Structure 1
């Protein structure tokens, strides 16, 4: 980075189903989409739990008598889809960090998504994170994003 040049930021705006990846510099008034800017979720991200699961739940016998009950799945299928989406986002960020496409990273997402991203990010991208915003800004207009981002990095 040249002495008077501002660092290049990537800004990830995500929720469990949608994501926008933007790039630019401070004061964040002219952010542009990275490779189109919109990251699509997997096919199951908007489905109901019964649509995601392939079969009816299994059945088991009660220990006290001979009645049978449906077994609950080990994990929530919708939560699993959101975790997979966060892993997909983390892979994109890791690839960009490894290729040195950005110098600093800001992530804005609700707490569960932030947690999934923290767990999934590789060291290259994790080292570039300068701010995390516990807020869903995916549908925030670009003209309003600058204020949120500047507050997050302390300007």
Structure 2
């Protein structure tokens, strides 16, 4: 009778996108089962505890450019316009909100990279952590395939957190 060994179970590759208006980073989510010995009974096998860790995925981290560097943005300067039919002047709104455009450009860049990675089969599940307004923008930018892989969304800005702190937020989801 041949020796039968079950095939190793392939774990699904999970990614976590952590984004804000200033930066976005994709982390690979790794889960391992570790045996934790019990101190009360050292001869008994320990309990199995699932631990999660996050590692940044190479090449999938972005920083937004400064709106002031891209556009001539001066909030103290008043935009005045002359009326064509008289000599009156009135205030005018700038045609675009430069800061909003920079945020959206960052989200477009991140979404395009994630859409491409999904087509290449680099991940199977995605968790998105971003402020609520950016979550809505990302949903519009993600492909249908990526939207199907989203397992959780957290409407918070956690870009300043370390990978260890982010992992603790994710343990609540599992």
Using the size of structure 2 for normalisation, the TM-score is 0.72
How far is the alpha carbon of 1:51 from its aligned partner? 6.0
| 2:74 matches 1:52 | no
Distance 1:18 1:106 in 2: 16
CA contact (8 A) 2:80 2:89 kept: no
- Number of residues of Structure 1 aligned to a counterpart in Structure 2: 147
- Following the alignment from structure 1 to structure 2, what is the Cα–Cα distance between the partners of residues 53 and 117? 27
Distance 2:138 2:8 in 1: 32
Structure-1 separation of matches of 2:59 and 2:142: 21
9, 22, 26: which one aligns with 2:14: 9
- Is the 1:53–1:77 contact (alpha carbons within 8 Å) kept by the matching residues of 2? no
2:97 aligns with one of 65, 73, 76: 76
Q: Which one has a bigger Cα radius of gyration?
A: 2
Counterpart of 2:41 in structure 1 is none
Q: Secondary structure at the match of 1:116?
A: helix
Q: Which residue in the other structure is 1:33 paired with?
A: 56
How much has 1:60 moved relative to structure 2?
Answer: 3.8
Larger relative strand fraction: 2
DSSP-derived class of the 1:92 partner: helix
- Which of residues 18, 23, 26 is equivalent to 1:21? 26
Q: 1:116 corresponds to which residue?
A: 137
Structure 1 gap ranges (5+): none
Correspondent of 1:99 among 115, 120, 123: 120
| Structure 1 stretch displaced more, 67-76 or 124-133 | 67-76
Summarize deviations over 1:13-33 as a string: whole Å, max 9, x none: 010011111112336633221
Structure with the larger helix share: 1
Matching residue of 2:109:
88
Does structure 2 retain, via aligned residues, the 8 Å contact 1:62–1:69? no
Per the alignment, in what secondary structure is the counterpart of residue 126 of structure 1? helix
